[in-house]
Amino acid sequence: MKLSSIPQLYRDANRLTEIVMIMSKYGLAEWISKLQLELADSILKTANGDILSKYSFEERIRMVLTELGPTFIKLGQVLSTRPDLLGADLSDELKKLQSNVPADPPEYIKQTIEEELDAPIEDLFASLDLEAVASASIGQVHFGKLQTGEDIVIKVRHKGICPKIQEDLSILVSLAQLAERIPEFALYQPRATVEEFKRTLERELDFSWELRNIQTFSRNFSTNPKVKIPKAYGKYSTNKILTMEHIRGHKLTSRKELEEAGYDLKEVAVTGAKIFLEMIFSYGSFHADPHPGNFFLLDDNVVGLIDFGMVGRLSERLREDIEDMLMSLVHKDAASLTSSIIRVGEVPKHINTEDLSADITDFVAYYATQSLSEFDISGALNEMMEIIRRYHIVLPAQIGMLIKVLITLEGTSRYLDPDFSLIEVMKPFQQELVARRLSPDRYLKKLHRVYNDLSRVIEILPGQMLDITESVQKGDFYIPLDHQGLEPSVNRVVIGLVTSALFLGSALMLSLKAPPLWSSFIGGSALKDLSLFGSVGMLMSAYMGFRLLRAINRSGHLNREEKKPPFR
């Protein structure tokens, strides 16, 4: 161990102790709530003085993450997109996570901006309010104006946030590695989940990623007059600060106020849904947090979008798989939906596909009775996630994020228009999807990919065949064989042979009364004519035989035929 790593280990140990204490406090509250110990109830309280045991399990998990700080709040927000792992109830509770981090002082903001942009604030901006308008887990927001007169919003990363998050990420990676060794947790791939979260959070810490996202979405919707993406100013942005256009409009806070302001909320709901469906099905890149706080309504029912820190991206193949799943759900095709889920997700080795197919058939049959105008896509997606979770199927992270977006989008749209139907809005996209699937351009792209793969194979194969031929000629060619699970069987065969040999040898020594005899050590006993080594060997062989039979019986293969795993 390097001496330089000791301070880091000490900090990690202190933080880990804090994490364990907070988690144990909330876990103890769960135990107390079951025993109904009123005296202990009054001891365990939240930071606000509320009694812990009165909260549900899901609420306590949210409170644990809140108390642990920004990294764990972000972890909860990311995990809220994975109802296939956590279930709908916990996923919905984690969506409520909010972080209210104290704002950094004006002196730090001024110093950071000047260091990052290498110029005095007076030369950069016509005005800048150094008092924060809002402060979240990663950064805080300030209003200002450029020298050219444009109103701007500047997001500045919090002081010292990176070392704190890196420390917590290091602990999370270690905990995930431990969880990977526990079979119940290993099913949910804790290491892969933490690595995905780490990658997401590190990108959120780097504001240059959000700058790229804003520029990408601005290009995608540059010809759509119904959507407003804030302009990003790369000249005034770095990895620590982000400068963008200040969008002024009405937030989606009160339907009554919006109606009084003259907005057509039915049109706004449809417009917002179309924007997100276009992101998903046309561009494969979507805003991953469509809650009301990230929408603004401008004149002429124009929808403004902000906060592009968390963005989901779909590869063409994954997008087609998702389209297949949604189309199967809309067309009530249970067999196709089951096949899509098994193909897309990571399925346990011994999954019972017949039971899974039966559950999905029942699920599809229930929703088949709903008309398109009344189809509850949020309820359908949540129920489908529960089925997937029940069978320990793990979906790709991007699919979980997309499902969360669709559920949140429908909820936001129905807040504006109670009669809103996301399936109705999806109809044109279904037609576009079918047209795109049948388009010659799609087949030409696939042929081009196949041609590239075949070209690579044709280019590489002759050389590899030549290498194999030369190895055979030189006598260097060999094929390594790895026998899975053969070692225990070999060990048992060896022990069986040793036991048999020991039994036969001991029996022979007993029959021949091979010396030394027990009479040499004890007198007047029935054992006096028995061979000492023969009797000891007989006892040893009996003990070894008993252990061998017990081991075989424990493995379940003594009196039972081995069942073949279900075909997948």
Q: Which of 134, 61, 80 is nearest to 104 (CA)?
A: 134
Alpha-carbon distance of 24 to 517, in angstroms, equals: 65
Alpha-carbon distance of 371 to 426, in angstroms, equals: 14
pLDDT in tens, 111-134: 999 999 999 999 999 999 999 998
Residues whose CB falls within 8 Å of the CB of residue 177, separated by 6 or more in sequence, listed in order: 191
- Say how many C-beta atoms besides its own lie within 10 A of residue 282's C-beta: 14
Write phi, then psi, for 155 (nearest 5 degrees). -105, 125
Alpha-carbon distance of 70 to 102, in angstroms, equals: 12
- Say if residues 153 and 141 touch (Cβ distance below 8 Å): yes
Would you give per-residue pLDDT tens digits along the chain (568 residues)? Answer: 444 444 454 456 777 777 777 777 666 545 444 444 444 445 555 555 566 666 777 888 888 888 888 888 888 877 777 776 777 788 878 877 776 678 899 999 999 999 999 999 999 999 999 999 988 888 899 999 999 999 999 999 999 888 888 888 888 888 888 877 777 667 667 888 788 888 888 888 899 999 999 999 999 999 999 999 999 999 999 999 999 999 988 888 778 888 888 899 999 999 999 999 999 888 889 998 887 878 889 989 999 998 898 888 888 888 888 878 877 876 778 888 888 888 888 888 788 888 998 999 898 888 777 766 677 777 888 888 888 888 888 888 788 788 888 888 888 888 888 888 888 888 787 777 767 766 777 678 778 778 888 888 888 888 888 888 888 777 777 777 666 666 677 777 888 888 888 888 888 887 877 777 777 666 655 666 778 788 888 888 888 888 888 877 776 555 554 444 444 3
Q: Which of 427, 445, 441, 557 is nearest to 492 (CA)?
A: 557
pLDDT in tens, 148-164: 999 999 999 999 888 88
Q: Which of 79, 74, 65 is nearest to 404 (CA)?
A: 79
Percentage of the residues of the chain whose pLDDT score is greater than 90: 20
Give residue 523's pLDDT: 61
pLDDT in tens, 302-344: 999 988 988 888 888 888 888 788 778 767 788 888 888 888 8
Residues whose CB falls within 8 Å of the CB of residue 145, separated by 6 or more in sequence, listed in order: 125, 126, 127, 128, 151, 152
